[in-house]
Amino acid sequence: MDVGSRLKEARKKRGFSQRKLAQEADVSNGTISLIEQNKISPSVALLKRLLEGLSMSLGEFFNEDKYPKEKQFFHADELTEHTFGSIRFLQVGGDLHDRRLQILREHYPPHSDTGELMLVHNGEEGGIVLRGEIEVTVGDEIQLLRAGDAYYFESNKPHRFRNPGDDDCEIFSVCTPPNF
């Protein structure tokens, strides 16, 4: 995890010295030095104070991924395909284990249906209908969306996608974090 390096980087980005941050967060400067060298592991409470001094949330702090990522561009035939019954998902990128977005082009044949999907991650998801019609159920809300319409909700609500029409439906969707 390397909390030390991350803290140091965040501090440097703000242009703070250890002492400046120590003052802001009401912490001793020695403590900051030890943390940055990973000689001690700060309590969550202390780290929170430090990050407040840097105007950063714990969530942001721990989500800052810095490993350089591989492929950046994907040709249409390089998208990773997933199928669930007759429904096809074309995913941007392969292994999304250490990534935050799952970007999909979804293809729903006429009368296809995901059924109720269980709550997976505690994330968010949204999308825009490219063509055709799709009936989206989220919690106790049901909506029929057409080309150009969009949705955006929290993934922990039970949800369902159903193509009620006689034409194909295509959706551009995204969720964070990735589901599969």
Interface mask toward DNA for 24-63; x: CB under 7 A: --xxxxxxxxxxxx-xxxxx-xx-----------------
What's the one-letter identity of residue 161? Answer: F
| Structure token pair of residue 176 | 């964070």
How far is the CA of 117 from the CAs of 8, 22, 88, 169, in angstroms?
42, 48, 16, 19
Q: Is 3 left (phi over 0), alpha (psi -120 to 50) or beta?
A: alpha
Q: Work out how close the CB of 103 gets to DNA at its nearest, in angstroms, rounded to a whole number.
A: 38
Q: CB nearer to a second copy: give 24 or 135.
A: 135
Nearest to 8 by CA among 45, 50, 46, 49: 50
- Is residue 122 at the binding interface for a second copy, with CB under 8 A as the rule? yes
Q: Which residues bind a second copy (CB under 8 A)?
A: 1, 3, 41-48, 57-65, 68-69, 71-76, 79, 92-93, 99-101, 103, 105, 121-128, 130, 136, 138, 141, 143, 145-154, 172, 174, 176-177
Residues that bind DNA (CB under 7 A): 17-20, 26-37, 39-43, 45-46
